[in-house]
Amino acid sequence: MSDKTSHDSDVTFIRALAELLRENDLTELEVMREYGEDSTLNVRVSRQTQTIVQAAPTQVMAAPVAAAPAAVAVAAPAADPASHPGTVKSPMVGTAYLQPEPGVAAFVSVGSTVKEGDTLLIIEAMKTMNQIPAPRAGKITKILVQDGQPVEYGAPLVIIE
């Protein structure tokens, strides 16, 4: 298959994914496929529905689907929790859960003291529950997500001081 044909089919595939976003009122869709040593397909299509100020991921898999231009929000540097040195950021896109199961106490709360490696919360990604460990010991001063809240890669989760 020629490069042009391959490019055209890639564009068609990405457009079909973008249409799925619109039809199902989704904000993000990710497709990952690995069949062998050289056969890899990683596509992430997303659209922004509101303006959010957060750190940009260091690796982008695919360009976002064109959406209406969003206003640029400017936050004071001191007010941005992502810039706090004790911020624990999300290592993945998913849904954050503060407790191991409904009706059970949360892993941590504001004022809790944690040791390095203690579970702070869980992020569900692709039906897999991923425990997010404390990168260092300290006291939880802020919890920046709510139970069941969707989170992006790099989004601030908690602050440990």
Q: Is the pLDDT of residue 60 over 70?
A: no
pLDDT score at 88: 94
Q: Is the pLDDT of residue 29 over 50?
A: yes
DSSP code at position 111? T
CA 142 to chain centre: 19
Secondary structure E strands in the chain: 28-34, 40-46, 87-89, 94-97, 113-114, 119-125, 128-133, 138-143, 149-151, 156-160
The Cα–Cα gap between 21 and 29 comes to 7
Mean pLDDT of the region 44-66: 51
Q: Is the pLDDT of residue 98 over 70?
A: yes
pLDDT score at 72: 43
93 touches 151 (CB < 8 A): yes
The Cα–Cα gap between 12 and 17 comes to 9
Spans of all domains in the chain = 1-74, 78-160
pLDDT in tens, 123-150: 999 889 999 999 999 999 999 999 999 9
Least confident of 25-34, 92-101, 130-139: 25-34
156 touches 144 (CB < 8 A): yes
Closest CA to 92 of 62, 63, 124, 66: 124
Q: Which of 14-28, 44-58, 116-130 has the highest mean pLDDT?
A: 116-130
pLDDT score at 28: 72
Bridge partner list, 42: 32
141 touches 110 (CB < 8 A): yes
Say if strands 149-151 and 138-143 run parallel, antiparallel, or are unpaired. Answer: unpaired
Provide the H-helix boundaries in the chain. Answer: 3-23
Model confidence at 54, in pLDDT bands (50, 70, 90)?
A: very low
Q: Which CATH number fits domain 78-160: 3.30.2130.10, 2.40.50.100, 2.40.30.10, 3.30.70.1730?
A: 2.40.50.100
* Secondary structure (3-state) at 159: strand
Least confident of 14-23, 60-69, 86-95, 137-146: 60-69
DSSP code at position 147? T
Residues comprising the chain, all counted: 161
Q: Is the pLDDT of residue 110 over 70?
A: yes
Mean pLDDT of the region 7-13: 71
